[in-house]
């Protein structure tokens, strides 16, 4: 059906990404785009027989206006909208899951700079991504939406219910932990401030005020520079652990009691051991960027490790398909289906981390030091034309197969040698190639980087590896 009002809308191609819709406010993203998303997504929900959509928003300065516009579009498509207001993305996922909503829209720029914003969606209880986002773009451009209807809006505060549910899985223990939290002026601030009042032990919350300008630091816990304030506070307080969140709290960062950063694939070992104690032999999923140490440790703890594609929507879908109780990504997305709902929730993950630390009886630094020590590069990114990036990966894979190398092609190419492994994949969201390498020694890492560099050179790229080492 075509809308009799003559609706049609063209989105800038750069905003329709693999996992969400995102752009720069006032440049590539406007309130007219938000209305069009609501109008078109509402039509997609209606065509599946649905009518109930839940909407939430983060703390960005542009989010209230963007939320109003997307709600107006949904209402014009006949949707019954529940507006849950400002809070973390996982609170929206929770609200949509327990209410068995037909759809959900979160207005959030995630960990992007303050002048960005965007939309993460669910259709039914599943992530809305990839081909579905492209389809939304095509339907909007063609004006292929349901006839204008009269929906409704109700405001509902779900924070009490969400908080109570988070606390249900707090198991406590004899240790009175001293914890520093950094919500980074992001959307988790209010929930975390209330959460710690209900937890035993000592708690300090940094940057709890929700402020879309992010005055303290950029809200991305995977970047060490953004954790400097947390590290300093952990040391000063003599804390047992530091916990950080990204702008919409679907990703977590961890700092140990000595101020050292634990990466996603390290604290996933702690969580995997904990889950496997209750579910022996269970499958635990991690993305292709994760350390071999993680996959080995899952197996050593009696689990079945599965290496899968990077991307939170892809991991969630694989979890649902396999029934895995736990999954995680290097980027700090942690997914629990054990006791939880299978979506990435950094605040819930924090509760489970504290439970695991309590149960382990050892310090977080002792746990970190007990892991096999490897040397790896951070994530290396090389500019590569959009129409060339997947071709380069395919060329590298073909050459490696011809050489008889040990290659996994789950997501790009991951090559295992006696020294360790290296990875090359095309970013789903940018015109870049992403690489990583890990070895047991500096010499081994140098050899892996040399192989990677020669493969990129063979496809006409000249990578720069300066400063590309880190230990963990």
427 catalytic per annotation: no
What the block records as the tokens of 65 is: 């206006």
Half-sphere exposure of 312 (CA within 13 A, CB side): 25
Q: Which helix (H) or strand (E) holds 75?
A: helix 63-76
Cα(218)–Cα(336) distance, rounded to whole angstroms?
A: 26
Q: Is 355 helix (H, G, I), strand (E, B) or coil?
A: helix
From the candidates 43, 62, 110, 313, which is the catalytic residue?
110
Q: Is 110 helix (H, G, I), strand (E, B) or coil?
A: coil
Cα(351)–Cα(166) distance, rounded to whole angstroms?
A: 8
- Relative to beta strand 334-336, strand 326-328 is antiparallel
Give the CA angle between residues 275, 278, 284 to the nearest 5°: 35
Could you tell me which of 472, 262, 225, 249 has the C-alpha nearest to residue 353?
Answer: 262
Cα(170)–Cα(177) distance, rounded to whole angstroms?
A: 13
Chain centroid, CA 467 distance in Å: 26
Q: What is the 3-state secondary structure (H, E, C) of 44-58?
A: HHHHCCCCEEEEEEC
Cα(212)–Cα(113) distance, rounded to whole angstroms?
A: 9
Contacts of residue 470, Cβ cutoff 8 Å, sequence gap at least 6: 375, 376, 377, 378
Residue listed under structure tokens 């916990």: 243
Q: What is the 3-state secondary structure (H, E, C) of 224-237?
A: HHHHHHHHHHHHHH
Residues recognised as catalytic: 110
């Amino acid at each position: 059906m075509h809308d009799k009002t003559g609706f049609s809308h063209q989105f800038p191609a750069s905003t329709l990404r693999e996992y969400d819709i995102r752009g720069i406010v006032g440049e590539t993203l406007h309130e007219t785009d938000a209305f069009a998303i609501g109008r078109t997504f509402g039509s997609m929900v209606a065509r599946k027989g649905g009518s109930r959509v839940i909407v939430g928003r983060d703390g960005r300065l542009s989010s209230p206006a963007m939320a109003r516009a997307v709600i107006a579009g949904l209402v014009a498509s006949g949707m019954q909208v529940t507006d849950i207001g400002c809070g973390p993305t996982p609170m929206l996922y929770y609200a949509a899951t327990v209410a068995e909503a037909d759809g959900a829209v979160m207005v959030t720029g995630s960990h992007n700079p303050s002048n960005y914003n965007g939309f993460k969606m669910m259709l039914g209880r599943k992530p809305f991504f990839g081909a579905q986002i492209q389809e939304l773009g095509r339907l909007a451009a063609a004006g292929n939406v349901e006839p204008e209807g009269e929906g409704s809006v109700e405001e509902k505060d779900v924070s009490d219910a969400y908080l109570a549910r988070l606390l249900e899985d707090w198991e406590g223990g004899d240790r009175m932990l001293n914890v520093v939290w950094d919500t980074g002026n992001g959307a988790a601030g209010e929930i975390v401030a209330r959460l710690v009042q209900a937890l035993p032990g000592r708690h300090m919350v940094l940057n709890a005020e929700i402020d879309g300008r992010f005055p303290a630091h950029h809200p991305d816990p995977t970047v060490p520079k953004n954790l400097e304030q947390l590290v300093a506070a952990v040391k000063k307080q003599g804390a047992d652990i530091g916990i950080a969140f990204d702008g919409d709290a679907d990703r977590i960062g961890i700092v140990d009691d000595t101020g050292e950063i634990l990466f996603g694939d390290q604290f996933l070992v702690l969580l995997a051991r904990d889950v496997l104690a209750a579910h022996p032999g269970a499958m635990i999923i991690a993305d292709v960027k994760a350390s071999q140490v993680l996959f080995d440790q899952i197996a050593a703890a009696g689990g079945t490790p599965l290496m899968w594609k990077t991307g939170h929507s892809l991991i969630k879908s694989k979890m649902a398909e396999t029934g895995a109780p736990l999954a995680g990504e290097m980027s700090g997305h942690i997914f629990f289906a054990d006791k939880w709902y299978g979506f990435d929730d950094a605040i819930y993950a924090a509760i489970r981390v504290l439970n695991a630390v309590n149960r382990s009886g050892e310090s977080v630094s002792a746990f970190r030091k007990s892991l096999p020590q490897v040397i790896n590069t951070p994530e290396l990114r090389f500019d590569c034309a959009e129409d060339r990036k997947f071709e380069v990966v395919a060329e590298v894979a073909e050459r490696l197969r011809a050489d008889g190398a040990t290659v996994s092609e789950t997501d790009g190419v991951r090559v295992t040698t006696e020294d360790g492994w290296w990875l090359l994949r095309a970013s789903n969201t940018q015109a870049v190639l992403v690489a990583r390498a890990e070895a047991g020694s500096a010499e081994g890492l140098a050899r892996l980087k040399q192989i990677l560099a020669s493969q990129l050179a063979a496809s006409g790229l000249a990578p720069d590896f300066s400063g590309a080492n880190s230990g963990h």
